[in-house]
Homo-oligomer: A and B are copies of this chain.
Amino acid sequence: MKNFALLGAGRIGSMHASLISASAQANLTYVFDTYQPAADELANKYGAQAVNSIESILEDATIDAVLIATSTDTHVDFIIQAALAGKAILCEKPIDLSTERVNECWQQIKACQVPIQIGFNRRFDPTHASLQQQLHQGEVGELQQLIITSRDPDIAPVEYLKHSGGIFRDMIIHDFDMLRFITGEEVAEIHAVGSTLIAPELAKMNDVDSVMITLKTTSGKLCHINGSRRCVYGYDQRIEAFAAEGMLQSNNPLPHAVAKSTATNTDSVSSLNPFFIERYQQAYQAQLDSFIAALQQNISPSPSFLDGMKAQQLADAAQQSLETGKPVQLN
């Protein structure tokens, strides 16, 4: 049984509280939030203790792990404090919007050797994970090309987007991680194009809402990511892997399976899942299980801090390519 402290009692924090609480292998002991009423409410619901400073958490020797679900700009500080206190860490992505700060963070914590996992939950989605597994078991031979479709249901308010770090660091970072997860390779070259087809005001912030990215891996595999901040038909998250002996598709699971045929057409009555909380519910659960299992078996959890850093570097390179109009080499 592992005792958890949850940092952050917002929407995503609430979801993590529910998952920790439901796990037969975990207790939710503390809930921290700078906004005290949020911490109180969540702690109360799950029989945990609300705190408004993290010192008491770090000093409590019974706490095994902290789950960091606070705002992005606080991640690095909390990671460092938790690592120095010897706690295992499960931190929401991204580590930080600045790759420089991510590097500094790594310099400070690597000696601590605490287990640390970054919240690339999609690796644990049953559908994506099955594709990755089939591929790595050789079911369709050597991978040649990969297409990732990543479309959010709707654009966030401009105020949020201003501090988001841009579409690559905020949203597509998940897909950069997915690409590394599925190809099992690093990226050698990246080229990104983008347009403001949804929110013209983004242009002023050097940001875009619609992107296409081409990536070439070290062995020459070709990858494409398409992303959009608005997708009216729901949360569209698909992967196609073209390989030497076949093709695998990770399609969108539907909430239910009713079809309707009328004089004009045949509908699947069900729409796509509305957003990530619904779509990746099982993934978040499996992510937590995987983190706990790593702690119990005393192995390094995965995806690692370095996985988080590499996805960030791809996001930076994509932003650079977008701004310069040229492909960027990575090494």
Residues of A whose CB lies within 8 Å of any CB of B are 22, 126-127, 130-131, 134, 139-140, 142, 144-145, 147, 149, 151, 189, 191, 193-198, 210-212, 214, 216, 220-224, 226, 228, 231-234, 236, 242, 244-272, 325-327
Contact = CB atoms under 8 A, between A and B. Distances in A.
Contacts of A131: 258
Contact of A231 (B211, B232, B242, B260): B242
Interface centre among A211, A224, A236, A245 (most CB of B within 10 A): A224
Contact of A127 (B151, B232, B251, B256): B256
27 contacts: A127-B258, A130-B258, A134-B258, A139-B260, A140-B260, A145-B210, A145-B226, A147-B226, A191-B191, A191-B327, A195-B216, A195-B220, A196-B220, A197-B244, A198-B244, A210-B222, A231-B242, A232-B246, A233-B263, A246-B262, A247-B260, A248-B258, A249-B258, A253-B257, A263-B271, A267-B267, A326-B326
A214 B190 CA distance: 12
A267 B140 CA distance: 12
A228 B145 contact: yes
A143 to B, nearest CB: 9
Nearest to A45: B24
Interface centre among A126, A246, A249, A252 (most CB of B within 10 A): A246
Contact of A258 (B226, B251, B254): B251
Contacts of A221: 195, 197
Contact of A269 (B134, B222, B269): B134
B214 A233 contact: no
Closest 8 interchain pairs by CB? A246-B262, A195-B220, A233-B261, A251-B257, A127-B256, A126-B256, A253-B257, A265-B267
B251 A263 contact: no
A281 to B, nearest CB: 12
